[in-house]
């Protein structure tokens, strides 16, 4: 065995998974069980002990951050250049394949990736050109429709929708496809779809990648959607080994197309798959794990595992019952202050919530107390408007057909080119079948604009010509710095003395620094450094999570928290109709909502606080709130109840361990159906056996006391 790595650092279950000689492996890796370590050690084991070429291994991740982490760890061990290794996101891997085969998929050599904002802007233009009323059909909804169809591998000419709205959506979809093809643009969905189509239609290309990849590893397998699973299947030959790592209990992205059932499908499609379970947790205390295990046991559709730790039980979980949302926020912020005064840094503390709207009251309290905070998952660097403006200048200089970039910056900074002028230019461009930029000299020849407007357009046209000449040089930081200057974006913000303008100037300076760092990147031989940098900006802006950790309280939605961990976690708003959300209950999606709770609980390492409010202002009025049913699923002996008149709603005992699984369900907090009164939530109970009474808050009939033995309540 090579001395470059040490399998003895793995526990028995991890080592069994890493060294599995069976062709295909499915690793069910619980939260904090070391899945990234297992993935990396598997790659090293293939290279070091089985003599696989590092370039014959494909490792697919869901974030650029995860890909960078894997590459960094491999670089620390292997004495080779790892930049050319096939490690990246689905979009990054597919982009690399398309770049090498652009002619075979009818794309120009310098094709560009567009992000969501660009996509919506194109859709808006198409709707305007086709006189489609955007008060009836929303561009964002159209974008969602297009992306969903692409995730299902469905082109516009293959749709079978027959209702009026979907027919309109598909009309736009067809025009959108045509526009992108003519402009050499691909969106995120297109990157994967066109790669899949290439592999399906071109056996030569498919055979090449079959021969290239001896092993394929997939991280966060539970988050794969339909087209991603199909892509993995077609890239796998009979000789390829597949190593899928995931956790069905952390599948929380069903709303964006993730298919947790792909885990079951994998075992059927890949015969002889060996399943491994990683259950030893290295993150959380025993009490936190017992709470997480107890909650997730209430889901029926799961592979089954039970997290455990060699560590101590730790502190009890604090369940705080607040009188209202203000009381809840006050408790959270005051508790945070006490932890800061003790021994915790601000960025070691996180507030997790179900909905973004919940952040407001916590933000107000934090500002009042002078405690800095960060909304995690906010605008990333390459998503900021001033950065996207500079990138748009580069894009239009690289490709004059990029109408989307043209529209973004033709009047940024302001040049006196208003909407009337742009409409006139659009009509002229459409009539003459040329791009907006290329139509400028033709339009000026025909004198369709006033002298003032014509001069402004000519100035912009010449500016792009200058930028083109700048981009012919080979110094990327210099190029970007010059674009910032000559576009007058820098002077525009310098004239504005506000803090916001200063921040934008700092961002522009940072863009130059980013370009400097990019000089060290590994560039594909089929692209220029400009093309590579523009692709980099698109792929980075497409990633949902931030990674800049300032010294401040971390605030985020539960969805954003996945993959993160904190010593201290506040899980707030645990109330029926808030968490779980009313929609999840109505749409029979409670199991995914419970998985989300499981994810939230397992973000905590040492201390976990779970809070709920008895009254909460919603839609302009105060409403009585029932504690979340998830609280009733936690064993009583792992919690301490505190706060305003706390209710008893916990399990009576904790018998969660590897050999004994607690099955009982409490009716407290459950949503029920009554023949006469309709749907409601059980808010309290008293008595025993035949004398048990329950108090139910019905949606329409109000609060009622019922004898449980004769009420015939149906749990829904």
Catalytic residues: 35-36, 219-220, 250, 603
Any idea which residue has 């110094």 for tokens?
475
**Distance between CA 67 and CA 550 in Å, rounded?**
22
Q: For residue 54, count other CB atoms closer than 10 A to its CB.
A: 18
242: burial class by Cβ within 10 Å (0-12, 13-18, 19+)? buried
Partners of 88 in the β-ladder: 60
Nearest 10 degrees: CA dihedral of 361, 364, 368, 369?
60
365: burial class by Cβ within 10 Å (0-12, 13-18, 19+)? buried
Q: Which two tokens stand for residue 36?
A: 């990234």
Helices 359-369 and 325-342 cross at an angle (nearest 10°) of 50
Helix, strand, or coil (residue 85) = coil
Helix, strand, or coil (residue 417) = coil
**Distance between CA 492 and CA 469 in Å, rounded?**
23
**Distance between CA 677 and CA 698 in Å, rounded?**
7
Kindly write down the DSSP assignment for every residue of 190-249, as one continuous string: HHHHHHHHHHHH-HHHHHHHHHH-SEEEESSGGG--HHHHHHHHHH--TT-EEEEEE-GG
Q: For residue 690, count other CB atoms closer than 10 A to its CB.
A: 9
Q: Which two tokens stand for residue 407?
A: 């529209």
Q: Under a CB-based contact definition with an 8 Å cutoff, are residues 601 and 288 in contact?
A: yes
Q: Under a CB-based contact definition with an 8 Å cutoff, are residues 533 and 476 in contact?
A: yes
DSSP assignment letter at 524: P
Q: Which two tokens stand for residue 202?
A: 């071109």
Q: For residue 228, count other CB atoms closer than 10 A to its CB.
A: 24
**Distance between CA 601 and CA 174 in Å, rounded?**
45
Q: Under a CB-based contact definition with an 8 Å cutoff, are residues 220 and 61 in contact?
A: yes
DSSP element (H, E) containing 714: strand 714-715
Which residues lie below 8 Å from residue 600, measured CB to CB, with a gap of 6+?
352, 558, 561, 569, 571
Task: Say how many Å lie between the first and final Cα of the chain, rounded.
Answer: 56
Q: Which two tokens stand for residue 487?
A: 């576009």
Q: Under a CB-based contact definition with an 8 Å cutoff, are residues 534 and 395 in contact?
A: yes
Any idea which residue has 């749409």 for tokens?
587
Closest CA to 707 of 715, 689, 514, 698: 689
Looking only at the bridges linking them, the beta strands covering 678-686 and 693-698 are antiparallel
Q: How far is CA 443 from CA 58, 510, 666, in A?
A: 51, 38, 74
Q: How far is CA 463 from CA 440, 467, 590, in A?
A: 13, 6, 56
**Distance between CA 642 and CA 644 in Å, rounded?**
7
Q: For residue 22, count other CB atoms closer than 10 A to its CB.
A: 9
């Amino acid at each position: 065995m090579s001395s470059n790595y040490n399998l003895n650092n793995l526990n028995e279950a991890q080592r069994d998974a890493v060294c599995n000689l069976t062709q295909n492996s499915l690793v069910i890796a619980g939260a904090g069980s070391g899945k990234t370590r297992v993935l990396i050690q598997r790659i090293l084991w293939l290279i070091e002990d089985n003599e696989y070429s590092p370039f014959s291994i494909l490792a697919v991740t869901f974030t650029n951050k995860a890909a960078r982490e894997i590459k960094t760890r491999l670089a620390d061990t292997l004495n080779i250049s790892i930049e050319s290794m096939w490690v990246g996101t689905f979009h990054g891997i597919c982009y690399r394949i398309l770049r090498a085969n652009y002619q075979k998929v009818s794309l120009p050599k310098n094709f560009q990736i567009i992000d969501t904002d660009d996509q919506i802007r194109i859709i808006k233009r198409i709707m305007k050109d086709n006189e489609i009323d955007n008060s009836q059909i929303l561009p964002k909804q159209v974008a969602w429709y297009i992306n969903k169809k692409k995730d299902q591998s469905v082109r516009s000419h293959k749709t079978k929708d027959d209702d009026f709205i979907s027919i309109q959506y598909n009309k736009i979809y067809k025009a959108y496809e045509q526009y992108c093809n003519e402009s050499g643009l691909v969106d995120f969905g297109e990157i994967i779809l066109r790669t899949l189509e290439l592999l399906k239609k071109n056996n030569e290309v498919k055979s090449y990648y079959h021969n290239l990849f001896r092993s394929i590893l997939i991280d966060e397998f539970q988050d794969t959607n339909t087209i991603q699973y199909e892509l993995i299947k077609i890239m796998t030959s009979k000789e390829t080994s597949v190593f899928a790592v995931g956790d069905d209990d952390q599948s929380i992205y069903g709303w964006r197309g993730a298919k947790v059932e792909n885990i079951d499908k994998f075992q059927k499609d890949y015969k002889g798959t060996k399943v491994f379970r990683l259950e030893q947790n290295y993150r959380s205390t025993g009490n936190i794990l017992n709470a997480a295990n107890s909650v997730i046991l209430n889901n029926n559709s799961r592979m089954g595992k039970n997290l455990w730790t060699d560590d101590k039980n730790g502190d009890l979980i604090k369940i705080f019952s607040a009188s209202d949302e203000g009381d809840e926020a006050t408790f959270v912020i005051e508790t945070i202050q006490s932890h800061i005064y003790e021994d915790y840094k601000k960025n070691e503390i996180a507030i997790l919530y179900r909905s973004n709207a919940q952040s407001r009251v916590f933000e107000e309290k934090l500002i009042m107390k002078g405690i800095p905070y960060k909304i995690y998952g906010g605008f990333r660097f390459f998503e900021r408007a001033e950065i996207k403006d500079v990138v748009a200048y580069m894009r239009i200089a690289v490709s004059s057909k990029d109408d989307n970039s043209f529209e973004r910056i033709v009047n940024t900074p302001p040049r006196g080119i208003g909407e009337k002028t742009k409409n006139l230019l659009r009509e002229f461009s459409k009539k003459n079948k040329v791009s907006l930029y290329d139509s400028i000299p033709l339009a000026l020849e025909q004198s369709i604009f006033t002298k003032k407007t014509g001069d402004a357009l000519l100035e912009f046209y010449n500016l792009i010509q200058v930028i083109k000449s700048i981009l012919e040089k080979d110094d990327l930081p210099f190029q970007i710095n010059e674009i910032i200057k000559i576009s007058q974006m820098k002077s525009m913000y310098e004239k504005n003395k506000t803090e916001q303008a200063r921040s934008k100037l700092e961002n522009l300076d940072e863009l130059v620094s980013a370009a400097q760092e990019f000089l060290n990147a590994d560039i594909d031989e089929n692209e220029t450094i400009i093309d590579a940098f523009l692709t980099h900006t698109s792929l980075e802006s497409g990633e949902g999570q931030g990674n800049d950790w300032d010294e401040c309280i971390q605030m985020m939605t539960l969805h954003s928290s996945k993959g993160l961990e904190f010593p201290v976690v506040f899980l707030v708003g645990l109330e029926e109709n808030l968490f779980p959300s009313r929609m999840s209950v109505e749409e029979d999606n409670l199991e995914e909502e419970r998985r989300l709770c499981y994810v939230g609980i397992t973000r905590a390492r040492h201390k976990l606080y779970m809070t709920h409010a008895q009254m909460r202002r919603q839609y302009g009025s105060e409403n009585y709130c029932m504690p979340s049913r998830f609280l009733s699923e936690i064993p009583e002996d792992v919690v301490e109840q505190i706060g305003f008149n706390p209710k008893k709603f916990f399990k009576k005992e904790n018998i969660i361990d590897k050999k004994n699984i607690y099955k009982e369900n409490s009716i407290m907090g459950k949503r029920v159906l009554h023949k006469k009164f309709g749907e409601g939530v059980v808010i309290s109970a008293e008595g025993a056996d035949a004398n048990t009474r329950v108090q139910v808050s019905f949606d329409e009939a109000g609060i009622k006391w019922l004898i449980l033995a004769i009420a015939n309540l149906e749990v829904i």
